[in-house]
Structures are given as C-alpha cells and as structure tokens.
Chain A
Amino acid sequence: MSAIEHPADAPPSGITRWLYATNHKDIGKMYLVFGIAMFLVGGLLAELIRAELLTPTMRVLSPEAYNQVITVHGLVMVFGALMPITAGLANYLIPMMIGAPDMALPRLNNWGFWLLPPAALLLVMPWGLKLIGIGNGTLDTGWTMYAPLSIQSGPGADFAFIAVLLLGLSSTMASINIIVTILNQRAPGMTMLKVPVFVWSWLITALLLVAVFPALMAGVIMLIGDRHFGTHFFSAAGGGDPVLWEHIFWFFGHPEVYVLLLPSAGILPHILATFARKPIYGYKAQVYSFCVIGVLSIVVWAHHMFTSGMPPAANIYFMLSTMAISVPVAVLFFCWFGTVWRGAMTFETPMLFALGYIVLFGIGGLTGLVLSDAAADQQYHNTYFLVAHFHYALFGGPVMGVIAGIYYYLPKVTGRMYSETLGRWHFWLTLIAFNVTFIPQFLAGIAGMPRRIPDYALQFWHFNLVSSVGAFVLGASQLLLVYNIVRAMRGDGEQASGRVWEGARGLEFTLPSPPPFHTFTTPPVIE
C-alpha cells in the first residue's frame, strides 16, 4: 500500500514540499523564515513610531494610526516574530538534539505553522478594508487589549481577536507536539537529565503555553461577547469589571514573557560553552531554575496592574512573588558566568551576541526589579521607563538570544558559513544602536514622559531625537542579518563542516551540514 510507505529520503519538489510538509526540518525552516519576515514588518512599524516621535509635532501619523501602529508592532513582534523564530529553532533542533527521527505528531506540526499566516493576515486586513471604506483600520488598544477601550474599538478589533484565537490554537498545538516529542521520542539512554538545556527550556516553555494560552482565548471570546452579544463581563453597568480583563490578559501575558525568554536562555549555554571550549556549567541548576521560573511566572501576573487599583494586600503579594523570580534568574546568570569563566574564549558572532545578551538582559532584569516595587511602580508605570525596561528585557534577551542562535546554527542548517566580518558589524551596530535607542527612553521616563502618545512636551525632545536616530541605525543594521541568511541560503560562502565550531558538542553536530532530509531514523547510541 503506497499510501503508508516510509517517506523518501529526498525532499519532495515544488510548492507542496512546503504546503504539505511533515518533515520537522522543513517546518522549522518555514517558522524561521516567517518569523524573520515578521521581525522586519514589526521593525518597520517601530521605525514609523520613532519617525513620529523624532520631533514634538504630529508629522508622520495621525493619532489613530499611531495607536494602531504601536498595537500591531507589539502583536507582530511577540506573536509573529519571536514566538515563530523560537518555535522554528525548536522544530529544527529538538528532534536532532534528542536523537529522534522527527517530531511526535508531524501533521499536527504543519497545522501549527500554517495557522500563523492566516492570523497575521487577519490582523492587518482591516488596514486594507479601510482603503475600500470599511471600518477605521485595525486594533488600536495596544497589544494588551484593555477593556473598555477594546470593547468600544472599531471592527478591526474583531479581526485581531479572531487572529488571537488562531494564534492560540497554533501555539497550543505546537506546544502539545513539543511536549510529546520530548517526553516520548528521546533516543534510548537519553534520560531527562541528559537532555540538552535548550530542549529543557522548550519543555517548560511549551508547558507554560498549554497552561495559559487557553485563558487568553477564553478572554477574547468574552471580549467579543461584550462587543456584539450584549454580555457584561467587563462592564460595571452589568456588574462586571474591566479590571477582570487585565487579570485574564496578564495571567496569560506574564508567562508569555517567559515563553519568549526561556528558549533564548536555553540556547545561550550551548553557545557560551562552545566558544569557551568548556562543558556547560551548572546543567542541573539551570534545569531546576527553568522549572522554578516556570512555576513562579504563573503566579505573579498582577505586578503589571499595580496602578489599576488593587487592594494593598494583593499589591504586596504580587510584589514579593515577582521579586522572588530574580533568584532563579540570578542562578542562570551565575551559570552563564561559570560556563565562560577561564575558558579559552573566541569571539565569533554567535558568542558576541550571547555575551551582549547577558549584558543587555541583565539591565532589563535589574530595571524590572525597580518596577516590581509596588510603591515605586506608581512613579514609573506608564512612562517611557517601562518601555525601555521592556525592550531591554525582550530585545536585549530573546531577540539577542535568537540572533545568536541563528548565527550559531545557520552553518548547520544551510551548510554554509556566514560572513564573519558582516556578522561582527551587525553585532556592534546592534549593540551600540540599541543602547542609543533605549537609554534615552529610561531618562525620558524618569523625567516623566508618558508612553503611548504620538506627541510630547518640548522638554523631552532631545531624548527622543537621540532615541529615534538610534532606532533608525538599529533597524537598518538588521539588514546585515538578512543578507547573511540569504547569502547562506543561496549556497554562497565557505562550506561548513559537520561539527561547524571547534568546541561544539551535541548530537546535532555529529551530523553533516546541512543534515540529510531525514536524520536518526535509527536511534543513535547515547553513552
């Protein structure tokens, strides 16, 4: 019966290779390409924001368009760029790292990916509909979709909410698949405490997604109910409460931050160890830290709501539990330092980005400690201080981390080395431009500049001028990454060896570069 024969060793040809894919490497590549494309879209929106804020007048965008641009920038970066890129790394790497022939549920895997483009399309479609006179553009509430604003918002909100439902379905299915793969597909002899750190980080990430995304899906269904079906979940007139939406959103939203962070924190030790030519320091400590971070992240959400009028007892609980997260995170930092300590270090591009991650994410974490103080937060919340903290935590951490991961695995995936010179230019431009962009935002925030406004008082001008110039350089320098990826995908550049890096360890580096279409159809032997 031909229908159930074992798939051929060569990839199928034509467009159906991608549309009908069941191969984890192909699906991983699609996730990565989609995520990087969305990273550029989100980046373009960020440049629009910075262009508007370049001077204290309204030049580029109307206030309505500005609100829509910041909303879509947030949603695209979180759901369109970072999550797909980390999911792509997971799909590509996890089966090879644990010695499995593929993901546990390959067709489900493909469904998870192909739900993303429709969701992205639904999110931006209202802009197209506006051009033909329908509605007033897309969602304009900020990515947090706070009620009652999101209930009064135009038709674009419904498109965004339905996009969130599709994204939720996609993430839940992808997470189930990753959990099952890690629990079930490991090569014989690979016990849970021999599994690479990156795999562990994704196990916790996937568990978090299953534990919180359905809550957000329930939440947006209720928003649609309040908008169109006469319910009063979030309206005081019917006994409901808009603060309830904030609870639902952040019950999802805070673990979501760790969903973005953990995979990059998981890939970091691999890179540090490779270029320090030492084994990973504190493997178990890192694994246990991931577990503790995962549990804590579910019970700290309302530190995003200190200014929403919660009772003092709630504020104190959420303040203390939030501060407790710094303990396992500090353990991770300690292990990262321990890994590179007295190592024979070299500074190739992945290593540079990994070290940049430690510095920038460190700043993001420490400023987060400031914001987690319920009393101090009254001052900083809703200022640019928070915006700067958030970007140090999410660009400085996950984005730096996935860029490091992309440079680290690009030779493995394509079989070609990237241009080291351009890679280093990319790193230094990114590091400098990032700080030029966001350090002024800390200062503007402390000086009292509120976030989410398209115009501002004259006194904040110079902060914003510097920040915008930094953002333009930061955005432009990402094109170096794109060039490096395209170059390697076209087959230009030096041929990479199977091991790629001198100090690389792990099952994925026992395979040729690029690896054959199917790998480990017979499980490898694990000592």
Chain B
Amino acid sequence: MSAVTDEHGHYFVPEPSPYPVLLAGALFLVGLGAALLVNSFALGWAPLAAGGGLTVYVLFGWFGRVVGETRAGVYGLKEDRAFRWGMMWFITSEVVFFASLFGVLFYERNIAIPWLASFSGPHSPLSAYAPWPAFHVAWPSSGPAGKPFGIVSPWGIPALNTLILLSSGATVTWAHAGLRAGNRTRLKLGLALTILLGVTFLAFQAREFAHAYDELGLTLHSGVYGATFFILTGFHGLHVTVGTIMLSAILVRAFKGDFTPQDHFGFEAVSWYWHFVDVVWLLLFVFVYWL
C-alpha cells in the first residue's frame, strides 16, 4: 500500500476529514454561548452545551482516527518526527501563556503596587494628587479599595500538593521505563498511580479554593492578589485536569494493547505535558504561595 512510509518514501497525507471544521464550529458555539452568558443572557447555555458536546464528540472521533491510523502502521519515522516537533511547539506556546501570567504577577507586585503607593505619604511630592493617600506598599494586597483577606499558608496543603505532583512525575517516568523494558504491568500500574495522584491533587486544590472563599475571604474580588492567585492556580488546575484526562486515555490504550517498547509517541506526548504541568506548579509554589 502506498501509504506505508519510511524515511525516503511517501509522507502520509490523511484523506479529507470532517473533524477540524466540526471542531471549529463547536468552538464557535462555545464562544457564542460564553459571550451571551457573561452578559446575563441565560439563553447562552444552549449554544455552550451544544458546542461542548460537539467538542467531546470531535475529540473522540479525531483522536480515535489517529489511534486507528497508528495501529494500521501508516506512520513512519518522518510522521513520528512531525508529531514530536508539533507537541514540542505546542508546549512552547503553553509556556508563553503561563510566562505571561507570571509576568502579570511580577508586574503587579513589583511595579504596579509600588507605583501606586509612590503617590502617598507625607514625603511624596505627588501626595496632593494621591487618590488614596493612606495606601502603602504591601504584598499580599487587595489594593487601596479592596477588602482584607487571609492568605493560604504554603506549608499546609500546597506543600503536600507539591510532594504529590513531584511523585506523579516520578511515577509516570517509572511507567515509561516499564514500557521501554517491555513490562506492561509496570506501565499500567505507573499510569494508574499517576492518575490517582493527579486526582488527589485536584481534590486538595478544590478543598483549598473552598477554604479560601469560605474562611479566608480570599476571592477573585480580592484585588490583584486574589486575581493573580486564582488565575495562576486556576489555569494550572485546568491543565492538571486536562492532563489527567489524557493520562486516562493513555491508560485505556495501554489496556487495549497499544504501544510497543520502541514506538509509543502518544504516551510520550502526554508525559511531556505532565512534566510541563509539574514544573509550572513548582514555580507557582515558590512565587505564588511561598515568597
């Protein structure tokens, strides 16, 4: 068959596929629903739900197709390299996304707050213009007009969560080593452990958010501290959720007999993603919770 590839042969070009255009349509519905909902049109639930459902259908269909093609052996070395590069650059774009959020944190903390406070105080030549003369440099801060709040101690659940995520990085590597050695029990056990650790992390994180909202008064409304705290930890949590779902898909595939010791890009892509999420957490722990 002409589709079978090698380094010097044909490159696999898939036949026309309905999934990309369906996914674009699904995201349009999701976006439309979200835009209506944030403006208090309850009607927005309909497109949001329809788009969400369609997205799930497309993801199953599209990835199912890719898995089918993998099993049929249409991918050669060159296709494999394209997938690797693709995943690498996707993670790079994710790095930029989180780097921007960290940049916002550093800017608010080290530039915006001192700048705003530089107008206040009896010694400031600008004090006559200060909108909030009593405001002083502080971090955490909810700003000159924000309500007081308590902060999450880094040495409780966040430290435990650090340990959990680091361990999950180790278990996924352990599973990888098992796969490479042909030990499929270790592969499945390692993956299951990693998923378990991911779910535990998420449960702790949910509990921590509830604690912050109900007892500490730390919410999205808590000025720049609350805003940066929740956008960083929230988007990280979202990525852990996605990573856990991807690991589960890989576990299901492992049970179905996919992956060989030499050829298992799907596993590797997810493990790269998981390590990336891991590193983001370490930075979060240091810069959001600790320092």
Cβ of A111 within 8 Å of any chain B Cβ, yes or no, is: yes
Stretch from A35-43, A79-87, A163-171, A351-359 that touches the partner: A163-171
Bound Cα distance A358, B107 (Å): 40
Give chain A nearest CB distance to B17 CB in angstroms. Answer: 5
> Are A115 and B3 in contact (CB-based, < 8 A)?
no
Q: Indicate with 1 or 0, residue by residue over A453-485, a CB within 8 angstroms of chain B CB atoms.
A: 000000000000000000000000000000000
Partner pick for B142 among A4, A184, A239, A522, CB 8 A cutoff: A239
Contacts of B107 in A (CB 8 A): 241, 244, 247
| B72 in contact with A4 (CB, 8 Å) | yes
User: Which of A16, A122, A177, A243 is within 8 Å of B28, CB to CB?
Assistant: A122
| Residue total for B at the interface (Cβ-Cβ under 8 A) | 77
A228–B35 contact, CB under 8 A?
no
Task: Tell me if B81 counts as interface (CB < 8 A to partner A).
Answer: yes
Q: Which A residues touch B224, using CB under 8 A?
A: 232-233, 238-240
Q: Are B14 and A107 in contact (CB under 8 A)?
A: yes
Q: Is the CB of A107 within 8 A of B17?
A: yes
| CB closest chain-B residue, reference A226 | B227
The answer to whether A179 touches B143 (Cβ under 8 A) is: no
Q: Beta-carbon contacts of B212-223 to A below 8 Å, as 1s and 0s? A: 000000011111
Of B5-13, B171-179, B192-200, B268-276, the one contacting chain A is B5-13
Most chain A CB inside 10 Å of its own CB: which residue of B38, B100, B111: B100
A232-B224, A240-B108, A518-B13 are contacts. A118–B25 as well, Cβ < 8 Å? yes
Tell me if B240 counts as interface (CB < 8 A to partner A): no
Residue contact B1 to A22, C-beta cutoff 8 Å? no
A105 at interface, CB cutoff 8 A: yes
Taking a contact as CB atoms under 8 Å apart, the answer to whether B85 and A104 are in contact is yes
In chain A, positions 110-148 with a C-beta closer than 8 Å to chain B are 110-111, 114-115, 117-118, 121-122, 125, 134-135
Tell me the nearest residue of chain B to A134, going by C-beta: B41
Residue contact B146 to A238, C-beta cutoff 8 Å: yes
CB interface residues, A 225-242, toward B, < 8 Å: 225, 227-233, 235-241
Give the Cβ gap from A176 to chain B, nearest Cβ, in Å: 4
Give complex CA distance A492, B41 in Å.
Answer: 51
Specify the chain A residue showing the minimal Cβ separation from B30: A162
Query: Is A68 in contact with chain B by the CB < 8 A criterion?
Result: no
B82 within 8 A of A: yes
Q: Which of B32, B39, B115, B144 contacts A241 (CB 8 A)?
A: B115
Please tell me if the beta carbons of A237 and B115 are within 8 angstroms of each other in the complex: no
- CB pair B221 A230 closer than 8 Å: yes
B117-166, CB < 8 A from A: 131, 141-146
Chain B's nearest CB lies how many Å from the CB of A97?
Answer: 16
A225 near B227 (CB under 8 angstroms)?
Answer: yes
Answer yes or no: A368 CB below 8 A from chain B CBs.
no
Bound-state CA distance A165–B34 (Å) is: 12
For the complex, is A371 an interface residue (Cβ under 8 Å from B)?
no
Binding-face segment, A212-220, A258-266, A337-345, A505-513:
A212-220
Query: Given A105-B82, A158-B38, A231-B226, does the pair A172, B93 have CB atoms closer than 8 Å?
Result: yes
Q: Which of B2, B89, B113 contacts A6 (CB 8 A)?
A: B2
Q: Cβ of B11 and Cβ of A102 under 8 Å apart?
A: yes
What 0/1 readout, one digit per residue, does chain B (227-238) give for beta carbons within 8 Å of chain A? 110110000000
Docked pose: A210 CA to B93 CA in angstroms: 5
**Complex Cα–Cα for A213 and B99 (A):** 12
B49 to chain A, nearest CB (A): 17
Is B52 on the interface with A (CB-CB < 8 A)?
A: no
Whether A177 contacts B86 in the complex (CB less than 8 A), given A22-B14, A111-B24, A217-B97, comes out as yes
| Interface residue B185 (Cβ < 8 Å from any Cβ of A) | no
Q: Are A118's CB and B27's CB within 8 A?
A: yes
Q: Is the CB of A163 within 8 A of B31?
A: yes
- The smallest beta-carbon distance between A255 and chain B, in angstroms, is 11
Q: Is A188 an interface residue (CB 8 A)?
A: yes
The distance from the CB of A242 to the nearest CB of chain B, in whole angstroms, is 10
A-side contacts of B94, CB under 8 Å: 214
Q: Which residues of B contact A117 (CB under 8 A)?
A: 24
Query: Bound complex: CA of A19 vs CA of B113, how far in Å?
Result: 50
Partner of B223, one of A121, A175, A225, A232: A232
Is B263 an interface residue, CB under 8 A from the partner?
A: no
Which residue of A5, A180, A239 is within 8 Å of B225 (Cβ)? A239
Is B90 in the interface zone, CB < 8 Å from A? yes
Tell me if A313 is interfacial: C-beta within 8 Å of chain B: no
Asked whether B17 lies within 8 Å of A20 as measured between CB atoms, the reply is: yes
Say whether A222 faces chain B, with CB atoms less than 8 Å apart.
Answer: yes
Does chain B have a CB within 8 A of A516? no
Within 8 Å by CB of A232, from B15, B28, B101, B146, lies B146
B191 within 8 A of A: no
A155 contacts partner chain B, Cβ-Cβ < 8 Å: yes
Contact of A7 among B1, B14, B78, B145 (CB under 8 A): B14
Q: Which residues, 14 to 69 on B, are CB-close (under 8 Å) to A?
A: 14-21, 23-25, 27-28, 31-32, 34-35, 38-39, 41, 62, 65, 68-69
Bound Cα distance A132, B74 (Å): 52
B144 near A237 (CB under 8 angstroms)?
yes
Which B residues lie within 8 Å of A21 (CB)? 16
Contact A218 B28 (CB under 8 A): no
Is B116 part of the contact surface with A, judged by Cβ < 8 Å?
A: yes
What is the CA–CA distance of A239 and B135 in the complex, to the nearest angstrom? 10
| Contact present for B38 and A104 (CB under 8 Å) | no
Cβ contact within 8 Å between A210 and B92: yes
Partner of A236, one of B89, B142, B143: B143
A210 touches B223 (CB 8 A): no
Q: Is the CB of B8 within 8 A of A229?
A: no
- Of the candidates A22, A185, A217, A222, the one whose C-beta lies within 8 Å of that of B82 is A185
A213 to B95, CA, bound (A): 12
The answer to whether A22 touches B16, judged by C-beta atoms less than 8 angstroms apart, is: yes
Does any Cβ of B come within 8 Å of A10's Cβ? no
Check A237–B143 contact: CB distance below 8 A.
yes
The residue that A240 contacts in the complex, of B11, B82, B103, B143, with Cβ under 8 A, is B143
- Chain B residues within an 8 Å CB radius of A522: 10
User: What is the bound-complex CA distance between A219 and B10, given in angstroms?
Assistant: 42
Given contacts A107-B19, A118-B24, A169-B27, contact A222 B104 (CB under 8 A): yes
Distance of A240 Cα from B115 Cα, bound (Å): 10
Whether B112 is near chain A, meaning CB under 8 Å from some CB there, is yes
**Can you identify 7 A-B contacts, CB atoms within 8 angstroms?**
A4-B68, A7-B14, A20-B21, A214-B97, A218-B104, A233-B227, A244-B107
Known: A214-B97, A239-B108, A241-B115. 6 other contacts (CB 8 A): A4-B15, A7-B16, A20-B18, A104-B82, A183-B85, A238-B143
Nearest first, the 6 A-B pairs at minimum CB distance are A239-B143, A118-B28, A238-B223, A111-B20, A20-B16, A231-B227
Interface of A with B (CB < 8 Å)?
1, 3-7, 12, 16-17, 19-23, 100-102, 104-108, 110-111, 114-115, 117-118, 121-122, 125, 134-135, 155, 158-159, 162-163, 165-166, 169, 172, 175-177, 179-180, 183-185, 188, 210-215, 217-219, 221-222, 224-225, 227-233, 235-241, 243-244, 247-248, 251, 518, 521-523
